[in-house]
A and B are shown apart, each in its own frame.
Chain A
Amino acid sequence: MIGLKRIFVTLAMALGLTFGLTFAAHAIAPGEALNDPQLETRARALSAELRCLVCQNQSIDDSDADLARDLRQLVRGRLQAGETDDEIRTAVVARYGEFVLFRPQFGGHTFLLWMTPLIILLLGGFWAHRLLRNPPSKPVE
C-alpha cells in the first residue's frame, strides 16, 4: 500500500499534475475516536499538524499507515492523561525530530520562513512610501 502511494505520487509529479493526489486516504477507523468531544476535537487538530513519516506529505490524520495509527493512539492516550497540546508536541518531536511538525517551530533556522511575509510587506510599504513622496521621475538618457 505504501509502495503504491509512492509510485502514484511520483507519477503524479512526472505528470505535472497540480495535485498531490495520494492514494485514497482515510485515516481514523471506527472506535478510534475519543468519547469526550472536546478532547477528540483537540486530537484531530493536533493530528492534522503531525506528519506521517512514512507517507508522502500526509498528516497522521489523513493516513492509514500503521505508524500514523500508532501516533494517533499516542496523541489520544496523552490527551486522556491530561497533557497539554504543547506537551504532546514536545514529546512527539523528542521522539521523531522536528521533521514531524507540519508547522515548524519559530527559531533561528526558521526565522526567514516565518518572517518573509512581514518583510515583504514592510519592504513594499517602504517602496510605496518612496514612490508616493518623490516627484515624478524624468526619463534618464
Chain B
Amino acid sequence: MIAEIGHFVLVMAFGVALVQAFIPLWALYRGQSYGRDLAKRAAQLQVILLAISFAALTYGFLRSDFSLLIVYANSHEAKPWIYKFAGVWGNHEGSMLLWTLILAAYGAFFAQRAVALPDRFATMVLVVQGWLGSAFLAFLLFTSNPFARLLPAPFAGRGLTPILQDPALAAHPPLLYAGYVGFSMSFAFAIAVLTTDQPSRDWAKWMRPWILAAWIFLTLGIALGSFWAYYELGWGGFWFWDPVENASLMPWLSGTALLHSALVAERRDTLKRWTLLLAILTFSLSLAGTFLVRSGVLTSVHAFANDPERGIFILAILALFTGGALALYGRYLPRLSEDRSFAPVSREGLLLANNIFLAAATMTVFIGTIYPLVLDALDLGKISVGAPYFNTVFGPLTLPFIILLPLGPLLTWQAGRLIAPLNALLIAALASLLLVLGLWITQAGVPLIALLLIGGAVWLSLGALADLAQRLRPYGWQLVRQPWRLPATAFSAPLAHAGLAIMIIGVIAASMWQSETVVAAKAGETMEVAGRQLRFDGVREVEGPNYQAEQGQISYLSRPHQGKVLLPERRFYQAERGQTTEAAITSDISGHLYAVIGEAVAEKRVLRLWFHPLVALIWIGALLMALGGGFALRARMSKTGQGAA
C-alpha cells in the first residue's frame, strides 16, 4: 500500500514537472505574468511529492518489504538499520530517485529564495529545471521504476554487497549527487541568460553561490569516496583513475574552472561567453558521467549493447540537453557584449591561464576515459588507459598550473605589474627551490617530476599565505581584537589554494615513500615496519551483527603508540556470501600504519603492513578546499542580503 502511494506520487511529480516545464514557458511567450508564480508553486509541489515518494521507498527498505523488487535484490532482514536506510540509494533505481529528489530540492530552494531576480529570468531558470525534472522522472518511471513488485514476495532478501555496508555509504552518494545535480542550476542560469536577453552582467553574481554550493558538495563527495576506498580496499590506495572515479573528476575540474571564470565575469565585464559555455559543459559532463556509470558501457561496449534500454535513454537526455543548450548558445551568443579588455599580466590574465589548464586537465580525463571505448567500438584495437597514463600526463600539467597560481591573487585586475607578487614571493621561491635541490640530492630514485611537484606545492602554500597577509593587512588591529568580524572573503581563496597544496604534498609523499611488508607470521612473532616494532599476537573469532569475523591482533612494542593494539579483521557475510577486509590504521604526525590480515598458511598467518607517509594530508587538503569554498559562499550570501540570489 505504502509503495503504491510512493509510485502514485512519483507519477504525480512527473505531471507537475511537465507543467513546470511548459506552461510558464507559454506564459513567457505570450507575455502573461502568471508564469513565475505557477513555476514557483510547481517547483515546491514537486519537491514535496518526491519527498513523499522517497519516504515510501525508505519505509519499504526499513521494513524489509521483499515484495518490492529492489528491496529483495539489495537488502536483508539481518542488516543493521543504518545500512537498510543507506541501502535506499545502494542500487540503481533508488539512487536515481535520490538524484531526482535533489534536483527538485534545488529547484524549490531557488524558487523560494530568488525573490529579487527579474521575473523573466527566474521563470526561465525554473522552466529549465522543469525540463530536467521531466526527463529524469520519465527515465525513472519508464526504465527504472523503484516500486516494481515481486510477487509472491520471497522470505529473504539477497542482501547488500558487503563492501558497501559501511557508514560512508550513508553520505558518499548524497554528497556526490548534490554536487552533480547542483551544476544543473548554473546550467539553467546559462540557458536563462541566453534566452531572456539579460542586459546587465549581474547574472554572474547570481550564479556564483550555486556554483560554489555544487562545487563544495562535489569536493566533499569525491574526498569521502577516496577515503572510503583507502580504508576499505585493503591496501591503502586512494585514487585509481578508474572510469567511475573519472566520471566525478571531470565535472569537478570543469566546475573549478567555472568557479574562477564566473569570478571574472562578475567583477569585470569579460569572459562572459566562456563562462556560459563552461556552465553548459560542466553540467553536460555530470550527465555524461551518469551515462558512463549507468549504461554499463564501461564494463564493455558489448555489455552495453546487450541491455541498452537505460543507456540509450540517458544518452538521449545527454544529447538533448547538451545539444539543445549548445544550439541556444550559438544562436543567442552575439547578443552578449564583452566590453572590457585586460592585459596578459593581470588577475584576469592569470584566471584565463587557470581556465586553459583546467580545460586541458578535464579533456585529458575525458579522452583517457573514453579512448579505449571509442577505439574498441571502431574496431581499431583494444587498449587500456589506466593510472600510469594519467599519472604521466597529470604531473607535467599540474606543475605549471601551481607555479602560475600564486601570482593571480597578488596581481591587480585589468593590468598588473609582476614586480609586486614577485617581491612578496621571493622567499617562497627560494625556499621551494632549495627544498627541491635538497630532495634531489638525498632522494635518489624518486622521479624529478615528483620532487618538482613537492617544491611547487610548497611555493603554492607560501603563496596562499602571502595572499592571506595581503587581504588582512587593511584590518590591522582588528585581527587580534575582533577576528570574527573579519570578512569571510579574506579566507576563501587562501584556504582553498593552501588546501590544494597540502593535498598535492600528501599525494606525492604517499605515492613515493610508502613502504610495504608482507610476512607470514606465527603468534608471538615480532617484526619491524618503517622503524616501528610490532608483535603479532594471534587471531580470534568475533561475531558481528550480520557477519562473522577473524580478528587479528598486532601490538606496538615501540613508540609512538607503545602498548596500543591494531585489530584488523576479515569479515564473512553469511547472507550475501561475501567477505570484506577491514584494515586497522593508526595515525601519527608522520603518517598511517596500515595493517591487514590475510589467509592462514599452515601454522602461520599472512600479514600485510604498510606505512603510508603523510597520506592524511590528501583529505585534510580536500577539506580545506571545501572550507575555502564555504567562506566564499558565506561572503556571497551576506553581501547580497537576499541569500541565494
Q: Is B367 interfacial (CB-CB < 8 Å)?
A: yes
Tier of interface size on chain B: 35 or more
Q: Which of A17, A98, A120 sits near B244, CB closer than 8 Å?
A: A17
Q: Which of A14, A19, A97, A100 sits near B92, CB closer than 8 Å?
A: A14
* B residues lining the A interface (CB < 8 Å): 89-92, 95, 161, 163-164, 172-173, 176, 221-222, 225-226, 228-229, 232-235, 237, 240, 242-245, 247-248, 290, 293-294, 296, 298-299, 334-344, 349, 352-353, 355-357, 359-361, 363-364, 367-368, 371, 375, 380-389, 392-393, 397, 445, 518-520, 578-581, 596, 598, 601, 606, 608
**A52 vs chain B, min Cβ distance (A):** 10
* Contact (Cβ within 8 A) A16 B173: yes
Residues of B within 8 A of A17 (CB): 164, 172-173, 225, 244
CB contact under 8 A between A24 and B580, given known A117-B393, A128-B352: yes
Complex-state Cα separation, A124 to B515, whole angstroms:
41
Complex-state Cα separation, A53 to B216, whole angstroms:
37
- Taking CB atoms and an 8 Å cut-off, the chain A residues in 48-91 that contact chain B are 48-49, 51, 56-57, 59, 62
* A residues lining the B interface (CB < 8 Å): 4, 7-26, 28-33, 41, 48-49, 51, 56-57, 59, 62, 97-104, 109-110, 112-114, 116-117, 120-121, 124-125, 127-128, 131-132, 135-141
CB contact under 8 A between A21 and B222, given known A15-B92, A98-B383, A109-B381: no
Residues of A within 8 A of B161 (CB): 7-8, 11-12
**A93 vs chain B, min Cβ distance (A):** 11
Residues of B within 8 A of A110 (CB): 371, 383
* Contact (Cβ within 8 A) A121 B360: yes
* Contact (Cβ within 8 A) B163 A26: no
Residues of A within 8 A of B596 (CB): 24, 26
Complex-state Cα separation, A29 to B344, whole angstroms:
56
* Contact (Cβ within 8 A) B244 A30: no
CB contact under 8 A between A30 and B520, given known A21-B232, A57-B242: yes
Sample 10 A-B pairs with CB under 8 A, ordered by A number.
A16-B176, A18-B176, A24-B234, A31-B520, A99-B382, A102-B386, A102-B389, A124-B359, A139-B335, A139-B336
Complex-state Cα separation, A14 to B520, whole angstroms:
37
* Contact (Cβ within 8 A) B392 A25: no
Residues of B within 8 A of A125 (CB): 356
* Contact (Cβ within 8 A) B234 A102: no
Per CB-CB distance, the 7 closest pairs between chain A and chain B, nearest first, are A124-B356, A102-B386, A20-B242, A139-B337, A24-B581, A103-B388, A24-B234
Residues of A within 8 A of B598 (CB): 26
* Contact (Cβ within 8 A) A116 B235: no
